[in-house]
């Protein structure tokens, strides 16, 4: 968190370490939870703009924009696909009885 704060303030980590009290640092951490800033927050803002643009200008399925964690998203999709297959099998055998 100190590195992110230093980037946002245009200061070095050493400068912040020397001038920032522990209490103020805790306040910054709380503020970040309420109002995040930096690359991840900016990515989310741009993702929304890209999706809005896509919805107005395309009939195709919307792609995933700015995927920060493609491996995790792929694992999640596979879990959902397995669940769907299990539900189909369950429904098939329930329909026989």
- Threshold 0.85, pTM exceeds: no
CA–CA separation, 62 vs 48, rounded Å?
12
For position 60, what pLDDT does the model report?
80
65 pLDDT higher than 70 = no
If we measure between CA atoms, which residue out of 68, 26, 57, 95 comes closest to residue 2? 26
Taking only Cα atoms into account, the Rg of the chain, rounded to an integer number of angstroms, comes to 22
Q: What is the pLDDT of residue 97?
A: 59
């Amino acid at each position: 968190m100190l590195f992110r704060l230093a980037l946002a303030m245009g200061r070095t980590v050493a400068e912040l370490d020397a001038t920032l009290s522990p209490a103020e640092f805790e306040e910054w951490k709380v503020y970040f939870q309420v109002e995040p800033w930096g690359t991840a927050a900016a990515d989310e803002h741009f993702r929304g703009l890209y999706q809005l643009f896509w919805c107005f200008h395309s009939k195709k399925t919307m792609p995933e924009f700015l995927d920060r964690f493609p491996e995790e998203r792929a694992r999640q999709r596979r879990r959902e696909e397995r669940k769907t297959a299990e539900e189909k099998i369950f429904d098939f055998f329930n329909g026989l009885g």
